[in-house]
């Protein structure tokens, strides 16, 4: 329990205990003893916010060379403050200052040792936006934690660094907001990490498999993100982030189904635009999942549902094709997956050539050879474009895989097969409860109050509460955030 008194009394040990408790015993709170003026002294700092090299060269080294005098005269840094308020010291530590404590002194010295990250950080490869931050995580663990600290400059941001893998001893960090995240979820995540008995873990994908509740579900249960702003926003919603050494991808859990359709750009645009593009993504989800199956059902079983004028056009395109619509669709979908895989594996200039030339040549050739109909080419092209609209690569891959069994069901039972397939998928989604959180929340269980950031994106000042699926300790986000507006 944190002490009520927050005034430094000259007892360095008590002050260190207070600071550690204020930071929820975060692993990156470091203490370095430095004797000065013949008294026991020490420096306390956050390894993920302060610059260690600056502390060593401009603070510790000068103090050791001149072990007497005033700290502010010896330390070679700018922005030096004196305070006796421990809460103020904690706030400054979160912003990159270090605290110099001397036994018997009534005031602490705050030294600015913050060094911002260089602007040369690479842009995200998989989560690009037109408007918003273009910074992404790196492969350095402490640098990634610093990016999170820069976006959540509050002492409650807790970092727990640990090793995983009996032989590899890989460094990972569990990051969460101590005043918001549910302790039960944090403990469960830490328990699962402690129970992993793997010989080595080098990839976040491996770690994801060890942590997820439903390993054979096609749907992703853990969000992968390269964006510090998105990870920080999820931390403020009460979720837990796992940062792994050597990986530019951060795992966020638990997350609902709708999180995989959200993009950082939604919150950098006005409400109407953000809502429109989000609806477009859900429409793309339905198209990518069911359009080929719908075409197969219409052509094979339910042709009476096709308008008369369109029937003749489809009939002409199918007249000389020797294959059934199901086989047509499978051939084109597999070909598309081959082109996609080839474009990923090859160097960028060649990949672009393969994608454009390969698609045009193959598409033209199969139509002229009457192996596939023109209509099927259009259907597969629209399906592929729709799958690209979904922001999450994991969800996009899931939709492409699920398209094959739905096509098979539609070829066997027509519209009825599509309906059965969709019902089975919906039942499966409702049953998923990763880390005890309902996957389809707030649709099932339904909660109109938290539906403001799902299919549509309400104005940010209307989202007063944090999502309830993580059961946050402090659920209220803001009240009357537009203070200038009366009766709102």
Q: Determine, yes or no, domain membership for 235.
A: yes
The more confidently predicted of residues 79 and 161 is 161
DSSP three-state, residue 87: helix
Can you read off the two tokens belonging to residue 457?
């994106």
Better pLDDT: 36 or 486: 36
Q: pLDDT value at position 121? A: 62
Same domain (yes/no): 293, 405: yes
Taking residues 280-293, what's their average pLDDT? 94
Question: What residues have CB less than 8 Å from 353, skipping those under 6 apart?
Answer: none
Report the number of distinct structural domains present in the chain: 3
Q: Are residues 243 and 282 in the same domain?
A: no
Is residue 10 within 8 A of residue 104, CB to CB? The reply is: yes
Tokens of 16: 């260190």
In a domain, 3, yes or no: no
Is residue 358 included in any domain, yes or no?
Answer: yes
Residue 189 sits in the same domain as residue 292: no
Per-residue confidence band for 346, with pLDDT thresholds at 50, 70 and 90:
confident
Give the residue among 265, 239, 180 at the shortest CA–CA distance from 457.
Answer: 265
| Structure tokens, 305 | 């549902």
Q: In this structure, are 97 and 202 located in the same domain?
A: no
Name which of 69-73, 326-330, 394-398 the model is least confident about. Answer: 69-73
Pairwise CA distance, residues 261 & 267, whole Å? 13
Nearest to 294 by CA among 389, 419, 388, 428: 419
In a domain, 29, yes or no: yes
139 CA to centre of own chain: 16
Is the same domain home to 398 and 291?
yes
| Total residue length of the chain | 488
Q: Domain end: 220, 255, 290, which one?
A: 255
Residue 456: per-residue pLDDT: 87
Q: Does residue 22 form part of some domain?
A: yes
Within this chain, do residues 251 and 282 fall inside the same structural domain, yes or no?
no
Count other C-beta atoms under 10 Å from residue 176's C-beta.
26
**Longest Cα–Cα distance in the chain:** 97
Please check the confidence at residue 266 and state whether its pLDDT lies above 80: yes
pLDDT at 359 over 80: no
Considering the domain boundaries, does residue 407 fall inside one?
yes
Stretch 83-110: mean pLDDT = 91
CA dihedral 245, 251, 254, 258 (to 10 degrees): 170
CA distance 450 to 115: 39
Q: Do 313 and 406 have their domain in common?
A: yes
The answer on 175 and 59 residing in a single domain is no
According to the model, what pLDDT value does residue 272 have?
Answer: 92
Q: Which two tokens stand for residue 326?
A: 């199901």
Half-sphere exposure of 449 (CA within 13 A, CB side): 9
Q: What integer is the mean pLDDT of 448-455?
A: 84
Using the Cα atoms of residue 143, residue 76, residue 34 and residue 85 in order, give the sign of their dihedral.
negative
397 and 333 housed in the same domain: yes
Which of 146, 125, 42 has the alpha carbon at shortest distance from 391? 125
Same domain, 244 and 349: no
Give the separation between CA 289 and CA 219, rounded to whole angstroms: 13
What's the rounded Cα separation, in Å, for the pair 104 and 88?
19
Residue 280 neighbours by CB under 8 Å, 6+ apart = 389
Q: What digits encode the pLDDT tens for the residues 232-252? A: 999 999 999 999 998 999 999
Strand order in the sheet with 108-112: 29-33, 41-46, 97-102, 108-112, 80-83
Predicted pLDDT of residue 20: 92
On whether residue 244 sits in a domain, the answer given is: yes
Closest listed residue to residue 156, CA positions, set 235, 102, 226: 235
What single string gives the DSSP state of each residue in 298-366? Answer: HHHT-GGGS-HHHHHHHHHHHTT--S-HHHHHHHHHHHHHHHHHHHHHS-HHHHHHIIIIIHHHHHHHH
Give yes or no for residue 357 having a pLDDT over 80: no
Given 255, 282, 308, the domain boundary residue is 255
Q: Are 190 and 475 in contact (CB under 8 A)?
A: no
Residues 462, 477: contact at Cβ < 8 Å?
no
Residue 332 lies inside a defined structural domain of this protein: yes
Domain residue limits at 97: 12-112
Instruction: Kindly tell me the sign of the dihedral angle through the C-alpha atoms of 162, 164, 166, 167.
Output: negative
Closest Cα to residue 226, out of 133, 125, 140, 149?
Answer: 125
Determine the Cα angle at 225 with ends 174 and 200, to 5°. Answer: 55
The answer to whether 246 and 202 are in contact (CB under 8 A) is yes
d(CA 76, CA 194): 43
Let me know if 348 is exposed, middle or buried by CB neighbors in 10 A (0-12, 13-18, 19+): exposed
pLDDT of residue 201: 87
CB 108 within 8 A of CB 97: no
Q: Are strands 223-225 and 250-253 parallel, antiparallel or unpaired?
A: antiparallel
Indicate the range of 202-211, 307-316, 411-420, 465-474 predicted with least confidence. Answer: 307-316
pTM: 0.88
What is the predicted pLDDT for the residue at 3? 47
> Does 197 sit behind a cis peptide bond, omega within 30 degrees of 0 on the bond before it?
no
- For every residue of 183-251, DSSP letters joined together read HHHHHHHHHHHHH---S----HHHHHHHH-S-TT-SS--SEEE--HHHHHHHHTTT-EEEEETT-S-EE
Contacts of 63 (CB under 8 A, 6+ apart): 34, 36, 41, 71, 74, 75
Query: Is the pLDDT confidence value at 477 over 90?
Result: no
Does 61 lie in the same domain as 205? no
Domain co-membership, 406 together with 287: yes
Q: CA 379 to CA 364: how far, in whole Å?
A: 15
When pLDDT is averaged across residues 158-164 and rounded to a whole number, the result is: 92
Domain boundary among the residues 205, 222, 255 is at 255
């Amino acid at each position: 329990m944190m002490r009520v008194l927050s005034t430094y009394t000259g007892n360095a040990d008590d002050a260190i205990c207070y600071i550690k408790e204020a930071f929820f015993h975060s692993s990156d709170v470091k203490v370095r003893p430095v004797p000065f003026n013949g008294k026991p002294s020490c420096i306390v700092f956050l390894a993920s916010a302060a610059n260690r090299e600056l502390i060593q060269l401009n603070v510790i080294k000068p103090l050791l060379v001149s072990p007497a005098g005033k700290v502010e005269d010896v330390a070679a840094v700018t922005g030096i403050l004196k305070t006796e308020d421990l809460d103020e010291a904690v706030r400054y530590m979160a912003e990159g200052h270090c605290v110099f404590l001397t036994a018997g002194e009534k005031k602490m010295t705050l030294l600015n040792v913050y060094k911002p990250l260089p602007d040369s950080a690479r842009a995200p490869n998989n989560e690009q936006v037109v408007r918003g931050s273009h910074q992404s995580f790196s492969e350095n663990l402490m640098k990634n934690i610093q990016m999170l600290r820069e976006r959540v400059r509050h002492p409650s941001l807790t970092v727990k660094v640990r090793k995983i893998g009996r032989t590899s001893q890989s460094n990972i960090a569990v990051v969460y907001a101590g005043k918001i995240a549910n302790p039960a979820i944090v403990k469960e995540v830490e328990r699962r990490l402690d129970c992993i008995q793997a010989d080595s873990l080098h990839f976040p994908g491996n770690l994801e498999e060890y942590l997820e509740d439903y390993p054979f579900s096609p749907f992703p249960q853990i969000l992968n993100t390269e964006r510090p702003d998105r990870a920080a926003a999820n931390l403020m919603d009460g979720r837990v982030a796992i940062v792994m050494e050597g990986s530019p991808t951060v795992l966020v859990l638990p997350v609902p189904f709708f999180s995989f359709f959200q993009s950082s750009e939604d919150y950098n645009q006005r409400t109407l635009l953000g809502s429109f593009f989000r609806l477009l993504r859900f429409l793309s989800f339905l198209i990518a999942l069911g359009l080929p199956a719908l075409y197969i059902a219409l052509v094979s079983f339910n042709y009476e549902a096709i308008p008369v004028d369109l029937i003749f056009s489809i009939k002409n395109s199918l007249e000389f094709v020797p294959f059934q619509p199901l086989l047509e669709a499978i051939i084109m979908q597999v070909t598309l997956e081959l082109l996609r895989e080839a474009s990923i594996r090859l160097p960028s200039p060649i990949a672009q050539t393969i994608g454009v030339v390969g698609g045009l040549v193959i598409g033209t050739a199969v139509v002229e050879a009457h192996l596939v109909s023109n209509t099927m080419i259009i259907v597969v092209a629209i399906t592929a474009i729709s799958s690209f609209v979904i922001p999450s690569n994991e969800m996009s891959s899931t939709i492409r895989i699920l398209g094959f069994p739905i096509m098979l069901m539609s070829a066997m039972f027509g519209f009825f097969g599509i309906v059965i397939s969709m019902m089975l998928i919906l039942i499966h989604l409702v049953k998923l409860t990763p880390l005890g959180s309902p996957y389809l929340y707030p649709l099932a269980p339904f909660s109109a109050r938290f539906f403001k950031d799902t299919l549509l994106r309400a104005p940010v000042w209307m989202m007063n509460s944090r999502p309830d699926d993580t059961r946050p300790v402090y659920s209220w986000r803001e009240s009357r955030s537009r203070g200038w507006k009366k009766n709102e």
